[in-house]
Amino acid sequence: MDPAPAVLSGAEAASPQPVSGAAKNKKEPMKLGTKFGPVKVAALCCWPVLVQTIDQSVFNVSTFSIQSQTGLQLGYVQWFLVIVYLICASFTVLGGKLGDRYGANKIVMIGLYLTLGAQICAYLVPAGIPEGETHMSTRSFAVMLFFRGIFALGLALSTSNSTAMLRHLSHRQHITVVFVYFTVATALPMVLFPTIGGWLAESALGWKALYLASLPFNIIALFLYATKIPPLPSSAGTSFDVLGSALTIVCMFLPIYGVSALSIGQPVSVLLLCIVGMFCILPLLLKVEARATDPVIPVEVIKQPRIGGSLVSFMLGWLGMNSGIYMVPYAMQ
């Protein structure tokens, strides 16, 4: 017969038990739902948006330098800006939905790896003017544009979810302060980096050094999101709304492309066709989303006058602001 287990006295039970050195040094993992102070939340989450603002700041002021060093017409150079704006804006809603489904941390990390790889690959593409030619090769231009598109897709995934994480990581009473800190942190590059971008484009490194301007911030973002931010809740068990996602991207893309085309000198008819196309697709999108189990855009919420009106106002303001950020420096050059 096994001996009965020893029963500890009250004093023995209350006394601390010896702990091994390995157990002492073992760091407790961050739990789901961990909250931080407002400064720490803004400092952790702002990096993907910093990558975006730094990139647009340095490229916006350098279109003339890019044109002079590549021999390309300005109509081609502007696509280095427009493709980022188009893809990033069109895929932002989908990026947020993927974050809800698979976890914002994972989607941010995927986006950051895409932006990092695209920056390095675009920098390595030969951009010189071949002997006997007046401009860089069409092939090099197309490859660079492809990597700019991958970069923009990574931005859409990382920025949409890093912004959403502010709410998850903040205490409710601190959320306003967090957004103030976050806005200030992400606005600073718009003041500082145009000068740095102009210097880089005219330096011995050449205009391709613009790809490297945001590279250190991308690496810092990867490190912080991999080591300092706890996991967030996800809804991976639900079905994915593929058709709704595709229609959402098209509906976002058309008006943004129309505004961009008008900003770079295309006729007004292009904008009108894009708007007509969007309104033709919109009823189908709403019908698909009303039947979806887990819709990209919850129709019941949009139908509420206050929320729907706020969303429309926000989208119009966002389109106007980003069109100005991207296109005004280009037009002034």
The pLDDT, as a whole number, for residue 108 is 92
Does pLDDT of 333 surpass 60?
no
Does pLDDT of 327 surpass 70?
no
Helix ranges (H only) for 170-214 are 175-202
Going from N- to C-terminal start, the domains of the chain cover 34-235, 238-321
**pTM of the predicted model as reported, rounded to 2 decimal places:** 0.76
Per-residue pLDDT reduced to its tens digit, 166-183: 777 777 777 777 777 777
Does pLDDT of 22 surpass 50?
no
Per-residue pLDDT reduced to its tens digit, 228-274: 887 776 666 566 777 888 888 888 888 878 877 776 677 888 888 98
* Helix 215-227 / helix 47-60 crossing angle, nearest 10 deg: 170
Mean of the per-residue pLDDT values for the chain?
A: 77
Residues 166/179, Cβ–Cβ less than 8 Å: yes
Does pLDDT of 303 surpass 60?
yes
**CATH for the stretch 34-235:** 1.20.1250.20
Per-residue pLDDT reduced to its tens digit, 173-213: 777 777 777 777 777 887 888 888 888 888 888 888 999 89
Burial class from Cβ neighbours inside 10 Å (0-12, 13-18, 19+) for residue 242 reads: exposed
- Identify which of 233, 98, 96 has the alpha carbon closest to the alpha carbon of residue 168: 233
The C-alpha angle with vertex 86 and arms to 247 and 140, in degrees rounded to 5, equals 120
Residue 115 or residue 300, greater confidence: 115
